[in-house]
Amino acid sequence: MPESVFHRVVEWLRAGYPQGIPENDYIALYSILHRTLTKEEIETIVRRIAERKNPGHPVSEDEVREMIRRVVQEEPEPEDVRRVSARLAAGGWPLAGPPPR
């Protein structure tokens, strides 16, 4: 993912989640993100989020895939998707189209 796109996604996540992403929003967040981002873009974002949560701890490809695998095994609740969508829209994410470039 070009760095400028990554920075825009991170800015959007920070605007939508200024206190950080709560664990219970990851399933709905992934469900929404995978509609507009590529697998590689999602892996990059997951890696960066994990590295920011644990500074100094490099995250391997296997760890990223495992994090994503755990999240995608669960179906988000409709109310979670609505809540997360509202937060993301408030942060500037265009839910009807591709990510801001």
- Flag whether 70 is in a domain: yes
Q: Which residue has the tokens 């695998």?
A: 69
- Flag whether 65 is in a domain: yes
- Flag whether 100 is in a domain: no
- Flag whether 96 is in a domain: no
- Flag whether 20 is in a domain: yes
- Flag whether 11 is in a domain: yes
Would you give the DSSP letter of residue 73?
T
Task: Place 99 in a pLDDT band, splitting at 50, 70 and 90.
Answer: very low
* DSSP codes of every residue in 6-58: HHHHHHHHHHH-TT---GGGHHHHHHHHTTTS-HHHHHHHHHHHHHHHSTT--
- Flag whether 81 is in a domain: yes
- Flag whether 9 is in a domain: yes
Contact partners, residue 53, CB within 8 Å, separation at least 6:
20
Task: Place 35 in a pLDDT band, splitting at 50, 70 and 90.
Answer: confident
Return the ∠ at Cα 33 (arms to 53 and 88), rounded to 5°.
Answer: 80
Number of domains in the chain: 1
Residue 84's domain spans which residues?
3-90
pLDDT in tens, 37-96: 788 888 888 888 788 777 888 888 898 888 888 877 788 889 998 888 888 787 777 665
Give the CATH number of the domain where residue 30 resides. Answer: 1.10.150.430
Q: Which long-range contacts (CB under 8 A, 24 or more apart) does 50-54 make?
A: 53/20
